[in-house]
Amino acid sequence: MVMNRDECLQALARRRDDQIVVAVYTGAQEWIHFSPSDLNYTFAGAMGQGSSHALGVALGRPDRQVIVLDGDGSLLMNLGSLVSIAHAAPKNLIHCVCENGMYETNGGVPIPGVGVVDFAGLARAAGYRSAYEFEDLDAWEQSLDGILGEEGPVFVTLKVKPGGTTYPNDFRRLRSVESREAFKQALANQPREGAILSRG
């Protein structure tokens, strides 16, 4: 059993507060419909860099929880970021990987190791504080509040398939200078209150 990605992300969007969300590729296209915000840091065209960008944001703003919506194909292109994140140990970072077993943006080409690679296991071995795997929507929804209240870095594998709705691609939003400037302004307007330890 796997989850529809749109339902999976909508569950997260319903619990979003003031978190910074770094989202890439197809997940980003859906996320900007579910949770529009100037605190969305979205991009396409830099496959594999979502986790590294999120690490930089988390270290730069330890007072804000940062959630990265990564893809399995993207993470495979930057597995070293798992070790970098675990070493830096940002308490405010949650690393979600939407695992669908393919490079969806590039035509649905299967990823290497599809059905075999254990992303949560890789994160544990790298040194993440905790790691989870979900393929059932109810279990994901029931666990969300606890995960959002944990001290990071936290890793979450979300086993998904494309949802039943097709959401229009908005590459201009993902890449625009205006959205970058709005993100910077939103961060500037967020007061720094010291390092975040827990939201629970």
Would 44 be classed as within a structural domain? yes
Would 196 be classed as within a structural domain? no
Would 74 be classed as within a structural domain? yes
- Note the pTM of the prediction, 2 decimals: 0.91
| pLDDT value at residue 97 | 97
Cis before residue 62, ω within 30 degrees of 0?
no
The count of structural domains within the chain is 1
- Number of Cβ within 10 Å of residue 133's Cβ equals 18
Would 139 be classed as within a structural domain? yes
Q: How is residue 84 written in tokens?
A: 């970098």
Would 197 be classed as within a structural domain? no
Range of the domain at 121: 3-188
52: Cα separation from own chain's centroid: 11
How far apart are alpha carbons 79 and 119 in whole angstroms?
A: 10
| pLDDT value at residue 176 | 78
DSSP-assigned letters across all residues of 172-190: HHHH-HHHHHHHHHHHHHS
Would 65 be classed as within a structural domain? yes
Would 199 be classed as within a structural domain? no
For the chain, where are the alpha helices, taking DSSP H only?
A: 5-14, 25-34, 50-60, 72-76, 80-88, 119-126, 137-148, 171-175, 177-189
| pLDDT value at residue 115 | 87
| Mean pLDDT of successive 10-residue stretches along the chain, which has 200 residues | 92 96 88 93 81 96 96 94 98 97 78 93 98 98 98 97 74 77 89 55
CATH code, domain carrying 41: 3.40.50.970
